[in-house]
Amino acid sequence: MGEEAVEFSVEKVATDCKQNTVDVGDKTYVIGRSDDDSKSSIIIKILDKQTQTWVVPTVLGTQPTLTKSQSAISVFDEKILIIEKGVPLNESIWLLEIETPFVKQQRKIKGTEVVSWSKGVIGVGQKPVVISGPSGVGKGTLIAKLMKDYPSKFGFSVSHTTRSPREKEIDGVHYHFTERSKIDKDISEGKFLEFAHVHGNVYGTSIEAVESVTDEGKRCILDIDVQGARSVRASSLEAIFIFVCPPSFEELEKRLRARGTETEEQIQKRLRNARAELDQSNSPGLFDHLLVNDDLEACYENLKKLLTLDDSQEDSIDFYIKDGKQTASYSIMSKNDSEILLQSETNEAKNGAASLLALDLSSLSGGAPGRTRGLKIRSINSF
Ligand SMILES: Nc1ncnc2c1ncn2[C@@H]1O[C@H](COP(=O)(O)OP(=O)(O)OP(=O)(O)O)[C@@H](O)[C@H]1O
Ligand SMILES: Nc1nc2c(ncn2[C@@H]2O[C@H](COP(=O)(O)O)[C@@H](O)[C@H]2O)c(=O)[nH]1
């Protein structure tokens, strides 16, 4: 009530207009703020142009706090890029995912139309690392060593599980121990990047578990089973996938028994599942690296070598604008095959900000539910 209406300048529309619409294929997406809602929530409606029917989708992800006016454009018919005016660049970039793998998966689960918000983050980050392997192979041991040696470099994605805590396991540190009804509800609300039924319990990685580590500037390590690795591979989270093998099946059994955390029945179940997991370790395109955990120290050294392989990614960071705070605010000007041009809204000459920036379209193709990281931006000219 009495609030300023949200305005969007839309592809093929020369000036800002109050019709906050973006056409993508056979659909028109209308994005605006509820006028009569004191909480200023964002309303999204979708028009199917062929059937002339409107749908109000289920909206997932953290809603942006869009305040005044925005510019918007479709990207690969998968997402709508929205840039809020009057806000430092790194704070202003939002993506409404409309046809990404995550959204398609959620649509299947819910049986309704789904869209999902994701915040755009400029700058190249290091890819999360998925570590899989049969129960008892030593994943947790290797990860614990990594966390102890490099506490500011790596962070652990704390999974949710319905299994009971073992002695010495701490809720929120080793796992978020949870009730089945609660995890089912959270999964149905799209809060999980992946989940699987493993050894008779439900385990899952929440989007927040990964994002909170990455937000701290750390590289996220996920310890998940092969089903989970497959789901992450199919998601829009770009990660490195490592499978840890035992030197032999007999040694695996020995370690599992020596750990002394499972009953005989549970050990048998885990060993059966181990055979299936080992069979899948060679699935084409699933794992990037296989590590044999025979001698622990040797395996740990090899793991560290693998994790430094892509450190060079960060070398190119100077080419892009890493910190949007130092720049002016921008709006979308136009799009070509490879880039979206952003123009400075106001005269920011005194700040030395570029008047034109180019956002690399290919950097928008990945992303993840939660945040779309690694956006590449170059300056085209400055005042
Ligand atoms: N290279 C190794 N040589 C001998 N023992 C090892 C080695 N690596 C780990 N272990 C031992 O094997 C047992 C299982 O290791 P760990 O708990 O790390 O396995 P895990 O893969 O994380 O299992 P789960 O998937 O069930 O969580 C532990 O007792 C650990 O100390
Ligand atoms: N798909 C997922 N698998 C997970 C997750 N967290 C752990 N795991 C895997 O479960 C088994 C058993 O773990 P345990 O702690 O009960 O021994 C192991 O293979 C883990 O890798 C998860 O979030 N998703």
CA 67 vs. chain centroid, Å, equals 25
Structure token digits, residue 271: 């060993």
335 vs 360: CA distance, rounded Å? 10
Q: How far is the CA of 208 from the centre of ligand 1 (A)?
A: 27
Q: Is the CB of 45 under 6 A from ligand 1?
A: no
Cβ count within 10 A of residue 352: 11
Q: Which of 33, 270, 371, 373 is catalytic?
A: 270
Residues 6+ apart with CB under 8 A from 287: 132, 229, 241, 242, 243, 281
361 vs 234: CA distance, rounded Å? 21
Instruction: Identify each DSSP E strand in 6-111 by its residue range.
Output: 7-10, 21-24, 27-33, 42-48, 53-55, 58-60, 69-75, 79-84, 93-97
24 vs 31: CA distance, rounded Å? 13
Q: What is the pLDDT of residue 348?
A: 55
Q: What is the pLDDT of residue 228?
A: 97
DSSP secondary structure of 276-295: HHHHHTT-TTT-SEEEE-SS
Average pLDDT along the chain, 383 residues, taken 10 residues at a time: 40 43 93 65 90 93 78 92 86 91 86 91 85 98 96 96 95 97 92 94 96 89 97 88 97 96 95 96 94 97 86 46 62 90 70 79 76 84 54
Q: What is the pLDDT of residue 320?
A: 45
Residue nearest to atom 1 of ligand 1 (CA): 296
Which of 161, 164, 241, 259 to mutate to test ligand 2, by most ligand atoms within 8 A of the CB atom? 161
Which residue, 88, 89, 71, 68, is CA-closest to 80?
71
Q: What is the pLDDT of residue 105?
A: 83
ipTM summary value: 0.99
Answer yes or no: 259 catalytic: yes
pTM: 0.77
Angle at 363 between CA 357 and CA 368, to 5 degrees: 130
Q: How far is the CA of 106 from the centre of ligand 2 (A)?
A: 22
Q: How far is the CA of 116 from the centre of ligand 2 (A)?
A: 27
